[in-house]
Amino acid sequence: MRTAAIAVALLAAPALAQMPPSPARLAEAAQPVRVVCIAATADAFLRDELFRDRVLRPLAARDADAAALQALVQPLGGMAMVALGSGFVVDAARLHVVSSWQVASGCSGERRLAVIDGDGAEPLLAQRLPERTHTDGQGRPVPLVQALCRDQRDPCAADLPPVDGARPLPEAQRRRQLDNLLAYGPDLAVLRLQTPARAAPLPLAPQQQVDDQMRLVIRGFAEGAQPVSVAATYTGPQQIDHRPPGGQPEDEVHARLHRLDTLLQPGLPGAPVLRGGGVVGVLTGLTSPVRGAGPTGAAYAVPATVLVGFLDLLKVPYTQPAPEPPPSATAVPLPPVDDSRQRLVLATAAALAVLAAGAFGLLWWRHQRRPAGAAMPTIAQPPRTLQAVNATLLHAVAMPTAEVTRRTSAVDPVRLSCSLGPLEPSVFALPMPNGGTTLFVGRDPQACQVVFPAGMDHVSAVHACFIWNPVDGSVSLRDLSSSGTWLNGQRIASGSTVALAAGDVVELGGPDINRFTVDITALEAL
């Protein structure tokens, strides 16, 4: 028996030792860079009032005195330096760095942008690529900066992430600002280096699906020369979908950011947001850093899909994760990772192998003690019944397939029935077939599981989401739209989350057009 246990442990150890690294370990291996501003003397930073207010004060406390601002200026050989934020190399030639527009735009005049790609490394001079322009629906050129207002004399930043301490806008003022919003440009900057960097490029993962409550890692430079990893949780999209009164479909404004639950620290804007070894977003500098705000807060990231379009516009190459080998290809085993977690897994596997060998030995011993000719006891088998298989759609995009949804099993904790609209009579269940507990509804097929036709103006790109809590069996509704969501004939507050009960009716876009009606029918079974 001891020999069998040792043999099982020896067979299990190589397979466990060659387990692929976890997403967190892959993110830890990412190499960010520091984006800095250098000048001949410290006075070049401190005597410029605009630089003090726009760059130094967001990096320090809001009530920082002159001494605190002066402490941000560090010596660098015979020069002076201010650390602005983070970034990462994006191309195989290691000549282009992606960062935040707000991080890189503050260094101008007699000051020079530079990148430091390692502890003790010399700064690499960089040049920020000029903002190219794209055109809006009417062919007018729009620069790729934050928010472009129709009337530059009035603000137009409604529904964009607010600065810290800002109060929510009244609804009438919010509508006026949205009507004045002409276009939205991502908070991105591309720096071209004069000499190649040492840091390896990070692959972009625009195809990586980011789900609600997914764990992500921000890898950057907070307040030191060493890179840090900051945990973040994806909490949904920050979405703008708005058409001014009397506007045409091409006048509709769209903007999208990843909303993250994390503590935003100085120096992190411009850092990559990672899922495994791939970049799924770039941490934006739209909000000022918060000090002493508690363990969590709100941060925002530009999605990798937007970054890819930005790089394509600037004709900048980038790397992407290597495709997985086909099933027939010979897999190359990864080298063993010698750390405490792997050792714990191996020890647990060895213990389970010993227990399994002991159980087999006990069965063999009892078999040897059984008298010859004795019949084996029969165990009564419980009657088996056939159950209908839950045929809820597995595809991420909803389709109005009546034959499939008609067979949805009644044992689903929550069923969402389309009783009116283009998806009638489809039925969707929570949890989803892949185990997801959050169901997004809207027109965007990349962000939603239930997708409406593109021409439905009253339904936003990401209109709402249904959230099922497997612990207590409750289900709630979160409004993410610009046109409104109605519960039992009453409009709920924009951006709010409400609890749902059995029989509630949810309407998207208005109580009169009834584009979509959701029936909660299976809560009694929870």
Q: What is the pLDDT of residue 389?
A: 28
> What's residue 385's pLDDT?
38
253/513 Cα distance (integer angstroms): 22
Could you report the per-residue pLDDT of 267-291, keeping only the tens digit for each?
888 999 998 889 999 998 765 333 3
* Predicted confidence band of residue 136 (pLDDT cuts 50, 70, 90): low
User: What are φ and ψ of residue 306, in 5° steps?
Assistant: -70, -40
Identify residue 297 by its one-letter amino acid code: G
- Six token digits for residue 391: 């045929």
User: Considering only 24-33, 236-245, 369-378, 431-440, which range has the smallest mean pLDDT?
Assistant: 369-378
Residue type for position 13:
A
pLDDT tier for residue 88 given thresholds of 50, 70 and 90:
very high
Say which range, 116-120, 260-264, 499-503, has the weakest mean pLDDT: 116-120
CA 218 to chain centroid, in Å, comes to 10
Instruction: Please report the pLDDT score of residue 337 as a whole number.
Output: 46
Kindly indicate the confidence band of residue 295, based on its pLDDT and cuts at 50, 70 and 90.
very low
For residue 69, what is the enclosing H or E element? Answer: helix 66-71
Hey, which of 125-134, 370-379, 430-439 has the most confident mean pLDDT?
A: 430-439
- Residue 362's pLDDT band, with cuts at 50, 70 and 90, is confident
Determine the Cα–Cα distance for residues 204 and 186; give it in Å rounded to an integer: 16
451 pLDDT tier (thresholds 50, 70, 90): confident
Q: Distance between CA atoms of 87 and 100, rounded to whole angstroms?
A: 8
Q: What is the pLDDT of residues 377-390, one digit of tens each?
A: 554 544 433 333 23
Give dist(CA 35, CA 191) in Å, integer: 9
Give the pLDDT confidence score for residue 408 in this predicted structure.
41
In this structure, of 6-20, 28-42, 150-164, the range with the lowest mean pLDDT score is 6-20
Closest CA to 308 of 321, 298, 297, 299: 321
Give the SS3 label for residue 369.
helix
Closest CA to 477 of 416, 526, 432: 416
Over 60: is that where the pLDDT of 214 sits?
Answer: yes
In sequence order, what are the residues at sequence separation of 6 or more whose Cβ sits closer than 8 angstroms to the Cβ of residue 275?
23, 27, 205, 208, 210, 214, 216, 217
Average pLDDT score over residue span 141-150: 64
Q: pLDDT category, 98, cuts 50, 70, 90? A: very high
Q: What are the extents of the domains in the chain?
A: 25-131+140-314, 402-525
The pLDDT score that the predictor gives to residue 67 is 77
- CB atoms under 10 Å from CB of 192, counted, come to 16
pLDDT at 62 over 60: no
DSSP classification of residue 249:
G
Taking Cα atoms as reference points, which of 435, 452, 476, 455 lies closest to residue 397? 452
State pLDDT tens for residues 488-500: 888 898 888 898 8
Closest CA to 32 of 325, 271, 334, 361: 271
Which residue has tokens 């892959």? Answer: 26
Instruction: Give the mean model confidence (pLDDT) for residues 94-100.
Output: 92
Which token pair is 207? Answer: 């195809």
Query: Is the domain covering 402-525 a CATH 1.10.3720.10 domain?
Result: no
- Dist CA 59 CA 52 (whole Å): 10
The region of weakest confidence among 158-167, 214-223, 438-447 is 158-167
CATH architecture of 25-131+140-314: Beta Barrel (2.40)
Closest by CA position to 285, among listed 192, 209, 218: 218
Average pLDDT over residues 294-323: 79
Rounded Cα distance between 25 and 338, Å, is 13
Give me the percent of the chain exceeding a pLDDT of 70: 72
pLDDT for the residue numbered 254: 76
| Percentages (nearest 5) of helix, strand, coil residues in the chain | 20, 25, 50
Is the pLDDT reported for residue 44 higher than 70? Answer: yes
CA triple 445-447-451, angle to 5 deg: 40
Would you state the pLDDT for residue 166?
64
Q: What is the pLDDT of residue 324?
A: 54
Mean pLDDT (whole number) for 446-468: 85
Using CA atoms, how far apart are residues 171 and 182, in angstroms rounded to an integer? 19
Q: Is 214 left (phi over 0), alpha (psi -120 to 50) or beta?
A: beta
Give the mean pLDDT of 429-442. Answer: 81
- Residue 427 is inside which H or E element, if any? strand 427-430
Q: What gap in Å lies between CA 92 and CA 466, rounded to an integer?
A: 41
Mean pLDDT of the chain: 75
Q: Give residue-wise pLDDT tens across range 169-212.
A: 888 888 888 888 877 777 888 999 989 998 899 999 988 888 88
At 241, is the secondary structure helix, strand, or coil?
strand
List CB contacts of 94: < 8 A, sequence separation 6 or more: 193, 196, 197, 198, 199, 200, 201
Closest CA to 143 of 113, 100, 188, 173: 188
